[in-house]
Amino acid sequence: MGKDKLRRFAEITAFENVIELEDGKVLKGRWAEQHFKNNNPLILELGCGKGEYTVNLAKLFPEINFIWIEYKGNRIWRGAKTAIEENISNVAFLRIQIENLLDYFSENEVSVIWITFPDPQPQISREKKRLTSARFLDMYKKVLKTKGPIHLKTDSDLLYIFTLAKIKELGLVTHISTADLYKSPFADEILSIKTYYEKKYLANDKNINYLKFSFE
């Protein structure tokens, strides 16, 4: 591991907006009251990047609590550092594996879930690891409030098609579906937030897929 990564791992242990592994379990069901010290709604972001989506959403909606979930400490460092430097207090960074989501959040605790540019896991053998596979959707259903939406932004046409098929298979509700977000009428201020990776895809003229769906 390089010196920069080691330094960043050491730094995030002192960041008040970073919660790592076991430390987050005691906040299950009490994130708003215990960590954020309020009763505001809670939104999760799952996926890949450097926390840009969560940080920018937190700026737009100071009355909402945001948590970005990522396991790689180097990625968490960038988002957490930005939030500290810009004095954004309604955002936290939880360092866990997404597979363990139910150990950290109670039923009906989450209002919205964003999945932004996750690894599409293109191999058939890794289909169950896709963040919109049935096992993950079952987790989301447990922690989401009734009719709480899931947003998916992805450059992967495969993941987009897979998720559409899964929505149909499980009888979920599709609210918005587009295979080319920036050529659609849906690219508002929120959906136009661009992550580091999204900017790279757009620079190569890659279409961005977007889905908004819910369980009811």
Q: Which member of 119, 138, 157, 205 is catalytic?
A: 119
Rounded distance, CA 152 to CA 154, Å? Answer: 6
Q: Minimal CA–CA distance to 52: which of 31, 83, 11?
A: 83
Sequence-distant (≥ 6) Cβ neighbours of residue 4 within 8 angstroms: none
For the question of residue 119 being annotated catalytic, the response is yes
State how far the Cα of 165 lies from the Cα of 168, in Å rounded to an integer.
5
CA–CA dist 173, 48 (Å, integer): 25
- Which residue type does 13 have? T
Q: How far apart are CA 57 and CA 118, in angstroms?
A: 18
Angle in degrees, 0-180, between the axes of helices 52-60 and 73-85, rounded to the nearest 10: 30
Residues belonging to the active site: 119
